[in-house]
Amino acid sequence: MSAAVEARDLAIGYPGRRVGAGISLGIRAGEVLCLLGPNGSGKTTLFKTLLGLLPPLAGEVRVLGEPVADWSRAAFARKVGYVPQAHAGIFPFTVEDIVLMGRAARIERFAAPSRHDREIAADCLAALGVDHLRTRIYTEISGGERQLTLIARALAQEPALLVMDEPTASLDFGNQIRVLDHIGRLRRRGIAVFMSTHQPEHALRVADRIALLAPGRLAGLGAPAEVATPDALAALYGVDAAAVAASLPAFSRFPQHRPERHAS
Ligand SMILES: Nc1ncnc2c1ncn2[C@@H]1O[C@H](COP(=O)(O)OP(=O)(O)OP(=O)(O)O)[C@@H](O)[C@H]1O
């Protein structure tokens, strides 16, 4: 089976500004890959390139076996969900409307959402513990509530690949755990997840593999215990290894989640 997403010798960036190069990685169905990297190292730029929102400066991206540029936007939206960093939003849609937008690629043009679509939207909100927000106006809810709404929207797409840019960033402690647990459940449904986080303990808790993005290049890719070591994290974030080690006991108390392998 082809990888959910595969990048070969990718260079990423903007006109006149190369952010990273030589990036090769693949994500299988039912696998969670977590991306760690300092501010400005290129995590969002990499995601946007994998999603075909930014052209690669070099190299190749395939999504579900097809070059990303060959996908029609409608077909892509049926297969790939993207949770961007939470934004304020400008239009006063209800939370349910926003989540139903995740169904849009599956609804025939000009058709109204069906009862089935509304049930799926309600299920996705309930799965994240925010069904009580259904009739609230998106521009009038908190940053964390918006984040959960955007995750629910992506889940409502029923994607094969889910790309999440710091999905736990603005969430309280309980919602962080809820979202991480939910990501673990997506794995069992065979969904490939590629997510970034600024919290190594979150990656250690949920990832099958971890990728380290240093400015300009991929500095590591592999099993969490082998990749997210105090020395590697110290080098990645430009801090002292002793300082990283000092903070490690705080998260090593987490029972380390041993991901179930997805039968391929
Ligand atoms: N539209 C743009 N045009 C030119 N440069 C950009 C653009 N957007 C981002 N950059 C630059 O590209 C680099 C990578 O940015 P990116 O947003 O991908 O980093 P990131 O790892 O996601 O950061 P953070 O953790 O702070 O969200 C940064 O130096 C940033 O200033």
So what's the ipTM on this one? 0.98
The reported pLDDT for the residue numbered 242 is: 82
End-to-end CA distance of the chain: 8
In a domain, 151, yes or no: yes
Half-sphere exposure of 245 (CA within 13 A, CB side): 4
Question: What rounded mean pLDDT belongs to the chain?
Answer: 89
Q: Assess whether the C-beta atom of 42 lies below 6 angstroms from ligand 1.
A: yes
Helix ranges, the chain (H): 43-50, 73-79, 95-101, 115-127, 143-156, 173-188, 200-206, 224-227, 230-237, 241-252
Q: Assess whether the C-beta atom of 19 lies below 6 angstroms from ligand 1.
A: yes
Percent of the chain whose predicted confidence (pLDDT) is above 90: 67
Nearest CA residue ID for atom 2, ligand 1 = 14
How many domains is the chain partitioned into structurally? 1
85-116: pLDDT as tens digits: 877 677 789 999 999 988 877 766 666 788 88
Mean pLDDT (whole number) for 116-140:
93
Distance 13 CA to ligand 1 centre (A): 8
Q: Assess whether the C-beta atom of 53 lies below 6 angstroms from ligand 1.
A: no
Which pair of structure tokens corresponds to residue 173? 């402690």
Q: Assess whether the C-beta atom of 175 lies below 6 angstroms from ligand 1.
A: no
Say if pTM beats, i.e. exceeds, 0.80: yes
User: Which range (2-6, 47-51, 89-93, 251-255) has the least confidence?
Assistant: 251-255
Number of Cβ atoms within 10 Å of the Cβ of 243: 13
Q: Assess whether the C-beta atom of 17 lies below 6 angstroms from ligand 1.
A: yes
In a domain, 59, yes or no: no
In a domain, 67, yes or no: no
Is the model's pLDDT at 263 over the cut of 60?
A: no
In a domain, 262, yes or no: no
Length of the chain: 264
State the CATH number of the domain containing residue 157. 3.40.50.300
Number of Cβ atoms within 10 Å of the Cβ of 3: 18
In a domain, 107, yes or no: yes
Mean pLDDT (whole number) for 229-253:
80
**CA distance readout (Å), 131 to 74, 99, 124, 170, 220:** 27, 11, 8, 19, 39
Rounded Cα distance, 88 and 68, in Å: 29
In a domain, 12, yes or no: no
- Chain center to CA of 7: 16
* Side-by-side strand order, sheet with 80-83: 80-83, 161-164, 192-196, 32-36, 209-214, 217-222
**CA distance readout (Å), 91 to 15, 40, 151:** 31, 29, 18
In a domain, 24, yes or no: no
Q: Which of 201, 197, 220, 146 is nearest to 34 (CA)?
A: 197
Contact of 45 with 1, CB cutoff 8 Å: no
31-89: pLDDT as tens digits: 999 999 999 999 999 999 999 999 999 999 999 999 999 999 888 988 999 998 877 67
Confidence of residue 255 (pLDDT cuts 50, 70, 90): very low
In a domain, 210, yes or no: yes
**Candidate from 10, 34, 41, 198 with most ligand 1 atoms within 8 A of CB, to mutate:** 41
Indicate the burial class of 50 (C-beta count within 10 angstroms; 0-12, 13-18, 19 or more). buried
SS3 track for 17-84:
EEEEEEEEEEECCCCEEEEECCCCCCHHHHHHHHCCCCCCCEEEEEECCEEHHHCCHHHHHHHEEEEC
Q: Which domain holds residue 102?
A: 32-52+73-252
Q: Assess whether the C-beta atom of 48 lies below 6 angstroms from ligand 1.
A: no
Angle, in degrees to the nearest 10, between helices 143-156 and 173-188: 10
